[in-house]
Chain A
Amino acid sequence: MVITTYSKEEILEILSAIADPEIPVVSIQEIGMLRDVVVSEDGYEVLLTPTYTGCPAMGIIEADIKAILQEKGIASVKVTLIYSPAWSTDWMSDEAKEKMRKYGIAPPAHSSCGSIFKTEQEVVCPHCSSQDTEMISRFGATACKALYKCNSCKEPFEYFKCH
């Protein structure tokens, strides 16, 4: 039997230090992947939701979670993937979006994804804030991003797709 010495909030606090492997300026909590922690006699169950079903970062994140808790001497950790409710960019805080923009990635344009294909025409350049941007490809280097270029400052950039 494991003696529970950490509360759910404390575990969440520890885990909030874990960065998204693809976008290291935001944490897995800020991006909305870290959903909950269930504390029981058997240990700690961390509930994670993938951004995209095939997100290859999930394995790394799971390893990160176990490693960071191990450092605190917490060994009985189970990471469970949940699909419901489906992850949405709506869960991202304005603060997280701002960090993303400073990092050079245009954050999801709107809080609601009613019309994905309308929002993707209104992407603002993260470098010069120009609205004169053009989509190069709807699919980018990771599942969650699209490729754009700015017609004002001529810089290419990535856009975090509305989901």
Chain B
Amino acid sequence: MAKQDALFKYTLRLGDNALILSQRLSEWCSYAPLIEEDLALTNLSLDMIGRAQALLKYAGEIEGMGKTEDTLAFRRSERQYYNNLLVEQPNGDFAFTMARQLFISAFELYFYSEMEHSKDKTFAAIAAKTLKEVKYHLEHAKDWVIRMGDGTGESHYRIQHAVNELWMYTGELFEMDDVDKDLIEQGIATDLDAIRPLWNKYIGDVLETAALIVPENGYMQTGSRKGIHTEHLGHLLCEMQYLQRAYPDAKW
């Protein structure tokens, strides 16, 4: 695999993870259970759209075909997206959103801590910036998961249910293919095998504090590294891309 090709795909993957989760979280705007939570979820969403912008802009530069971050966000179809299946899962109830956030933010904390030392200067810079933001996201998700798990019978049931349902999407976070191997050799990408035990330990500790049971590792969903997604991504893209698809290059 050519170096540029691997780097392009890898950058898309990181950018897509930020973009799709940002879009999901923005769906909570004006629907959150508390006004403070409305602010919090949209703040998280804003951090992620900023990260997606930086990463997709970089992806466009790597590819060298003159695509901007907007072209990449609004003119690719489902099969050309490489985000993890976990980020595209519907918001569900508040417990679902927070369980998903806990899994992802913990992953991102360890992921970007490694990437801060990447030989790719753009990655290292974006990672340093992202890391400061992710610490806040993770603390927020952790607080809520503990509060719900250790809360009422209803909240405990809901958060345990969310953890159980989403668990099968967590294996994919750590999947590596030729793109990863190429870039790890060059000191650019993060070795996901190395951060997996840290993630397991962190999640195990939080769930224990929250009086929740860590699900057993059964069948794990997979596909996004090849652009194969759950049905939910298509619906999300329909809404996100509608305007640019209907009125290409529209500006206002």
Contact = CB atoms under 8 A, between A and B. Distances in A.
A115 to B, nearest CB: 10
Interface of A is mostly: loop
A57 to B, nearest CB: 11
Contacts of A139: 36, 39-40, 43-44, 136, 140
Interface string B34-75: 001101100110111111011000000000000000000000
Given A136-B36, A137-B40, A141-B39, A86 B48 contact: no
A85 B36 contact: no
B130 interface: yes
A138 interface: yes
Given A137-B40, A138-B139, A52 B128 contact: no
Task: Give the one of A84, A85, A161, A163 with max B CB within 10 A.
Answer: A84
B146 to A, nearest CB: 14
Residues of B contacting A: mostly:
helix
Contacts of B191: none
Contact of A54 (B39, B49, B125, B126): B49
Contact of B126 (A83, A138, A141): A83
Contacts, number: 72
A53 B139 CA distance: 19
Interface in A140-156: 140-141, 143, 147
A23 interface: no
A68 interface: no
Nearest to B44: A139
B119 interface: no
Given A137-B40, A138-B139, A139-B43, A86 B50 contact: no
A85 B121 CA distance: 11
B16 to A, nearest CB: 16
Q: Closest 4 CB pairs between A and B? A: A54-B50, A53-B50, A84-B125, A137-B36
Given A52-B50, A53-B53, A54-B51, 15 more contacts: A53-B47, A53-B50, A53-B51, A55-B50, A83-B122, A83-B125, A83-B128, A83-B129, A86-B125, A116-B135, A137-B39, A139-B40, A139-B44, A161-B136, A163-B132
